[in-house]
Chains A and B, each alone.
Chain A
Amino acid sequence: MSLRCSARIETRNFDVRFSLSAGETVAVMGPNGAGKSTLLGVLAGLLRPDSGSAALDGRTLYDDDAWLAPHVRGIALLAQDALLFPHLSVLENVAFGPRSAGVPRSAARQAALRWLREVDADDLAQRRPANLSGGQAQRVAVARALAAEPALLLLDEPLAALDISMAPLLRRTLRRVLAGRSAIIVTHDIVDALLLADRVVIIDGGRIVEEGPTRSVLERPRSSFAAGLAGVNLLTGATIPGGLLTPSGIQLAALQDQDFPPGEEAAAVFSPRAVSVHRLRPTGSPRNVLPVTITDLEQHGARTTVRAGHLSAEITTASAAELDLLPGAEVYFSVKSAEVSIYLR
């Protein structure tokens, strides 16, 4: 069950090349409007790209000449809303896929019951979708998608419409049923990516800007989006001896295990907790001092996050009060070079 695809859509400024190996689950993340849903639409057959090609298990989904309709692709799509057919019972909803594939009625019902049991929803079989809670409905929708026995399962923010209290339960179910299954899950939630996916792909501006195993992307983010996810500061630029120089002229010193050749494209990462905030330019051991303007302050109990554009510092609320920090104030962020890691891009 391997997938490879490339697609270009001029009007959406979308140009993505993507592949998935058998049994792999990939999380697709990125800002709103980045093209995540476009990717799913292209794979499901709801959008026809201007050019490109895709093949699932060696079977062509589309290329410059051919185009497979959605119903013959073997790709099921699970959306944010459960979208259960309101005029059918839960059991008939789940049996819809098998029935469409020509399975006789009673066998289709057997299969439906089996899948409902798989997601712990067999007690809902005779209910109407209108009488289900959001979490129950989404659970049934998962069973319905799986009952169609798709070669590839697409999930478009499947947990986004659920209550915070319901999401963990369904996430656990998804984790169980997605194991060993080829799936692509679009999500905004870093927890989904960590728990459900083997690999994460970051899309921004219609392009894949970063991809890799979920943990390593979060630990060593290279795109600003991934860095924001992981709650770290990220500056990109070129390597210089002993550090990094950004296009805007900021020099960051880093304590490196190895020396990178100068002039390479690189990213510097440091934790907001490693940043201290000063009203006056500090003199002392920190080698990195960045003059910034505060854009935002977020208080979380005893801790306050001080944001200045893409950068952030996490300090105690007491010191934030002592420094009399306000948005618009010009301050200095300092960070020890020992806290800065540099990665080649």
Chain B
Amino acid sequence: MTGTYSGVPRWLLAVAVVGALFLVVPLGAIVLRVDWARFGELVSSDSSRAALLLSLQTSATSTVLCVLFGVPMAFALARTRFRGQRVLRALVLLPLVLPPVVGGIALLYTFGRQGLLGESLRVVGVDIAFSTAAVVLAQTFVALPFLVLSLEGALRTAGTRFETVAATLGARPTTVLRRVSLPLVGPGIVSGAVLSFARALGEFGATLTFAGSLQGVTRTLPLEIYLQRETDPDAAVALSLVLVAVAVLVVAVAHRIHEGSTQ
């Protein structure tokens, strides 16, 4: 509250409250439904622990992949110009709006046993579909655009003036990247990575389609929740709360980074 006149009509605020309730109330509903007496037991069962561990491992791995490939992609999109760049950007960002199950199908027909690359991979002894690697690929597929999009924005905001100065001071392009560009957009990379991690953690459709649901191998937390809902709704609710907690943590971290970078 700063005490300055805002000029926002009251009816607008009323509609905003309805929208906010729509987002917040369901979260409260989960909390209310949690069987707190059995909470510890439910989230620490073998299948739950396996799913949580698998989710954290695969999401962390796909986040690393997102940074490794997403940072160069963002630089290529923000700092260079080439023919077909707009089309390429649209294609790269497509997984953002694509239904994840469609992404899973696409991956299946690329890396699956009868897929575009799958057969060649099988010849060299690599079988990806329905393995933990498939989970990582599915998560990377849906999460990568988040990192590219947020970092490309950060790069465009930062502009090229510092990079130009660095070059005229005698710094090679790699030195400029390491000592100027990356530090300047560091917060953008971290917040992009956090977003990617969150997206990977929540991945369901593409994982189920491309990787299946094998306990300890491909059954991540969202898949486990979906399965438990049929047999033990209380366990599903408890695990959902765990994911909500992780999401809250992610949002808090991303927010802090954003605050820090805009100071």
A positions within 8 Å CB-CB of B = 44-46, 69-77, 79, 81, 83, 85-87, 96-97, 99-101, 144-145, 148, 150, 154
Is B226 close to A, CB under 8 A? no
Q: Residue of B at shortest CB range from A101?
A: B170
Which A residues are CB-close (under 8 A) to B171? 71, 96, 100
Which B residues are CB-close (under 8 A) to A96? 166, 169, 171, 179
**Distance in angstroms between the alpha carbons of A196 and B107 in the assembled complex:** 65
Which B residues are CB-close (under 8 A) to A97? 169-170
Q: Which of A76, A86, A99 contacts B168 (CB 8 A)?
A: A76
Which A residues are CB-close (under 8 A) to B179? 85, 96, 99
**Distance in angstroms between the alpha carbons of A329 and B39 in the assembled complex:** 92
Chain A-chain B contacts (Cβ-Cβ < 8 Å), number: 63
Is B101 close to A, CB under 8 A? no
The reply to whether B166 and A85 form a contact with Cβ atoms under 8 Å apart is yes
Q: Residue of B at shortest CB range from A81?
A: B161
Count of B interface residues, CB-CB < 8 Å = 19
The reply to whether B162 and A100 form a contact with Cβ atoms under 8 Å apart is no
The reply to whether A46 and B170 form a contact with Cβ atoms under 8 Å apart is no
Which A residues are CB-close (under 8 A) to B172? 71, 100
Query: 7 smallest A-B Cβ distances: which pairs?
Result: A100-B171, A70-B167, A97-B169, A77-B168, A148-B169, A100-B170, A87-B183
**Distance in angstroms between the alpha carbons of A71 and B179 in the assembled complex:** 14
The reply to whether B184 and A46 form a contact with Cβ atoms under 8 Å apart is no
A–B Cβ pairs within 8 angstroms, 22 of them: A69-B167, A70-B167, A71-B168, A71-B169, A72-B170, A73-B168, A74-B170, A76-B168, A77-B165, A77-B168, A81-B161, A83-B161, A83-B162, A83-B165, A96-B171, A97-B169, A100-B166, A100-B169, A101-B170, A148-B168, A148-B169, A148-B170
**Distance in angstroms between the alpha carbons of A145 and B171 in the assembled complex:** 12
Is B72 close to A, CB under 8 A? no
B positions within 8 Å CB-CB of A = 161-162, 164-173, 175-176, 179-180, 183-184, 186
State how many angstroms separate the Cβ of A87 from the closest Cβ of chain B: 5
The reply to whether B184 and A76 form a contact with Cβ atoms under 8 Å apart is no
Which B residues are CB-close (under 8 A) to A79? 161, 165
Which B residues are CB-close (under 8 A) to A44? 168
State how many angstroms separate the Cβ of A91 from the closest Cβ of chain B: 14
State how many angstroms separate the Cβ of A104 from the closest Cβ of chain B: 15
**Distance in angstroms between the alpha carbons of A200 and B180 in the assembled complex:** 35
State how many angstroms separate the Cβ of B190 from the closest Cβ of chain A: 14
Q: Residue of B at shortest CB range from A102?
A: B170
Residue of B165, B171, B172, B183 most packed against chain A (CB within 10 A):
B165
Q: Which of A45, A71, A73, A145 contacts B173 (CB 8 A)?
A: A71
Residue of B162, B166, B170, B175 most packed against chain A (CB within 10 A):
B170
**Distance in angstroms between the alpha carbons of A309 and B162 in the assembled complex:** 42
Which B residues are CB-close (under 8 A) to A69? 167, 173
Which B residues are CB-close (under 8 A) to A46? 164
The reply to whether A87 and B170 form a contact with Cβ atoms under 8 Å apart is no
**Distance in angstroms between the alpha carbons of A70 and B91 in the assembled complex:** 33
Q: Residue of A at shortest CB range from B186?
A: A87
State how many angstroms separate the Cβ of A239 from the closest Cβ of chain B: 47
Which B residues are CB-close (under 8 A) to A86? 184
The reply to whether B168 and A70 form a contact with Cβ atoms under 8 Å apart is yes
State how many angstroms separate the Cβ of A77 from the closest Cβ of chain B: 4
